[in-house]
Amino acid sequence: MLPQYATRLVAAGAAAASLVGPVLSATCQSYTSYSQYRHEPYSTGAYALSYQRPEPACRTFNSTAVEDAILQIKNLTTDPDLFRLFENTYPNTLDASISWRGFAANNTEEELAFIITGDIDAMWIRDSANQVAPYRSVLKSKDDDIASIFRGALNLQGRYLIISPYCNAFLPPPEANLHVQPNGASYAVTPPYDHHVVFTCNFELDDFGAFLQLSHDYYTRTGDVDFFGKFQWIQAIQSILAASEALRKPTYGPDGAWIPPAYTFQSQTMTAFGTLGNNGMNYPVNYTGMVRSPFRPSDDAAIYDFQIPANMMLSRYLEATAQIMEKLPNAPQGLAGEMREMAAGIRDGIEQYGVVTAPNGQRIFAYEVDGFGGQNLMDDANIPSLLSAPSLGYLEANDTIYQNTRKFVLSRSNPWWCQGSVINAVGSPHIKPGAAWPMAAIMRAMTSDDDDEIINSIWEVLQSTDRFGLIHESVNSFDASQWTRSWFGWGNAVFGQMIMELAERKPELLKESFQPRHRGSL
Ligand SMILES: *[C@@H]1O[C@H](CO)[C@@H](O)[C@H](O)[C@H]1NC(C)=O
Ligand SMILES: *[C@@H]1O[C@H](CO)[C@@H](O)[C@H](O)[C@H]1NC(C)=O
Ligand SMILES: *[C@@H]1O[C@H](CO)[C@@H](O)[C@H](O)[C@H]1NC(C)=O
Ligand SMILES: *[C@@H]1O[C@H](CO)[C@@H](O)[C@H](O)[C@H]1NC(C)=O
Ligand SMILES: *[C@@H]1O[C@H](CO)[C@@H](O)[C@H](O)[C@H]1NC(C)=O
């Protein structure tokens, strides 16, 4: 992400007043600056973590379900620092990221929610899905307060996916009446897009997976099938299928003739990962059944376009949401079948081309391949990652290839493994070597059944916040005072999710002490 291009949104006063809100008081400090300072009262453990929730009048959404969950976790935990980190992070999306809520101009029943990624005032499809997803733990019915956030996010994401399926971050909808500055950076992209709608247009396949996963979460928790037939969800799925099909095409046709790709991207940037080589087309690919993802979940350019984790996610959630599609009376004939067929084709492609031999002779998943035999062996902290595969529901954690892959990812054989005295976790070329991502330590805990490994991962995350009590994007693995992004909404959300899942899965671990003397030996 590119904070330097961030635009500030300014509510256009009277016009916005008729909408659901929020129109925060002018005295509310922006959370971007609020999160840069520590606030009392500090937690009473050794980490003295800051209290980071804005005062109630400055929160962007109130949910009794989420407040109840915070009290519940308070009861389950004994470590004051652990509870403080949860208390700050779990409600963070609601406290600070719901930039606007309202209804579609042409349908007074269609809820919309514009959810910003944190310190950048644009809505990323993936980030917004991941910022809302952790609330599935408290979502029980379509009448819950929090259900409206799911529907609002899905409706707006659906609209964006119909307008520009290859773009990843968007400006507020016209209904919000927010003054916006189009992104001033210079990009050359095909297909072209509207600069008043789109903020950035890096095509990242996991955006499709994120939308489908959030759809699945909402459906399985509420059973509200009618919602999916009412607005633009079916068209959004058609847009996803068409865009994916176009990016399954190989670089050369059966007669060897070059096939121009459906999507290209070039930008002026200081970083090689900020643009695509080969005139915006990236490296050639052979047919595999998988879908190209020229950019990664980090927004960095891929080396090889078939990103295995994003294809896992797409396959798993196309399959899952086909179950919704087949229940919709107004769905076009055969659409659910098309979703299943693509899901199966991608899964076959992963098995055939995505499983490779590691230097130690074990079979593991590659991070990226090109279908010609090119393979990139690594993992990146951003989700979907290889580490996250069981959390995506693509496979069981006891899968042999996954376990081999996990050992590789959490070892010095992974070029982005960051080891140190503060935190040991996967990093990302999005920052630099040696900068571990707490989000990857959180994902390690989420995908482990080993109590010591879970406790140690949480301990490292607690130690990594530099007493701010929020999840940083990356942290120098030897020095907690060197970190990036004071406000990283996605990371906060994933920490809250991990604790909520642990409360179900292994509540006894929440009773542990995470104070310094309890350091494990990993
Ligand atoms: C949340 O509740 C507080 C009072 O506790 C109120 O001042 C604030 O306006 C509410 N926020 C929204 C978005 O409704
Ligand atoms: C927390 O525990 C107390 C005492 O056991 C109990 O009375 C209360 O209902 C619990 N609250 C929640 C939200 O679970
Ligand atoms: C409603 O407006 C949205 C966004 O402007 C548009 O994409 C959609 O097609 C419209 N729906 C109808 C039924 O006109
Ligand atoms: C690449 O695709 C071509 C054409 O379909 C095929 O002949 C060739 O075997 C493929 N290469 C690999 C490594 O699969
Ligand atoms: C893997 O775990 C699943 C349940 O999560 C279980 O049904 C299956 O038998 C396990 N497989 C092996 C090989 O242990």
Q: For the packed helices 125-132 and 489-505, what is the interaxial angle rounded to 10 degrees?
A: 30
3-state secondary structure 149-179: HHHHHHHHHHHHHHHCCCCCEECCCHHHCEE
**Distance from Cα 342 to the centre of ligand 4, integer Å:** 20
User: Looking at ligand 1, which residue's alpha carbon is closest to its atom 12?
Assistant: 61
User: Looking at ligand 1, which residue's alpha carbon is closest to its atom 8?
Assistant: 57
User: Looking at ligand 3, which residue's alpha carbon is closest to its atom 2?
Assistant: 106
**The domain spanning residue 391 has which CATH number?**
1.50.10.10
Ligand 1 atom closest to Cα of residue 22: 13
pLDDT at 42: 98
pLDDT at 178: 86
Ligand 2 atom closest to Cα of residue 75: 1
Q: Strand pairing partners for 356? A: 364
pLDDT at 185: 84
How many CA atoms lie less than 13 Å away from 331 in the CB half-sphere?
26
Do 363 and 401 contact (CB within 8 A), yes or no? yes
- 325/322 Cα distance (integer angstroms): 5
User: Looking at ligand 3, which residue's alpha carbon is closest to its atom 7?
Assistant: 159
**Distance from Cα 309 to the centre of ligand 4, integer Å:** 23
**Distance from Cα 147 to the centre of ligand 2, integer Å:** 25
pLDDT at 1: 35
pLDDT in tens, the chain (522 residues): 333 222 233 333 323 333 344 445 668 989 999 999 999 999 999 999 999 999 999 999 999 999 999 999 999 999 999 999 999 999 999 999 999 999 999 999 999 999 998 767 899 999 999 999 999 999 999 999 999 999 999 999 999 999 999 999 999 999 999 878 788 888 999 999 999 999 999 999 999 999 999 999 999 999 999 999 999 999 999 999 999 999 999 999 999 999 999 999 999 988 889 999 999 999 999 999 999 999 999 999 999 999 999 999 999 999 999 999 999 999 999 999 999 999 999 999 999 999 999 999 999 999 999 999 999 999 999 999 999 999 999 999 999 999 999 999 999 999 999 999 999 999 999 999 999 999 999 999 999 999 999 999 999 999 999 999 999 999 999 999 999 999 999 999 999 999 999 999 999 999 999 998 655 443
| CB of residue 250 inside a 6 A radius of ligand 1 | no
| CB of residue 62 inside a 6 A radius of ligand 1 | yes
User: Looking at ligand 3, which residue's alpha carbon is closest to its atom 13?
Assistant: 106
User: Looking at ligand 2, which residue's alpha carbon is closest to its atom 1?
Assistant: 75
**Distance from Cα 266 to the centre of ligand 5, integer Å:** 45
- 225/157 Cα distance (integer angstroms): 18
Q: Which ligand has the nearest atom to the CA of 399? A: 5
Residues flanking ligand 3, CB < 6 Å: 104, 106, 159
Radius of gyration of the chain (CA): 22
**Which residues are CB-neighbours of 508 under 8 A, at least 6 positions away?**
none
- 22/468 Cα distance (integer angstroms): 26
Tokens linked to 518: 């309890």
Write phi, then psi, for 187 (nearest 5 degrees). -125, 145
Tokens linked to 445: 């805990």
Ligand 3 atom closest to Cα of residue 174: 5
Q: How many domains does the chain have?
A: 1
How many CA atoms lie less than 13 Å away from 126 in the CB half-sphere?
27
H-helix or E-strand containing 102? strand 98-104
pLDDT at 2: 34
**Distance from Cα 57 to the centre of ligand 1, integer Å:** 5
Query: Which domain, by its residues, includes 461?
Result: 4-518
| CB of residue 59 inside a 6 A radius of ligand 1 | yes
Ligand 3 atom closest to Cα of residue 107: 1
Ligand 3 atom closest to Cα of residue 163: 7
Omega before 261 within 30 of 0, i.e. cis: no
Residues flanking ligand 4, CB < 6 Å: 286-287, 372-373
pLDDT at 519: 52
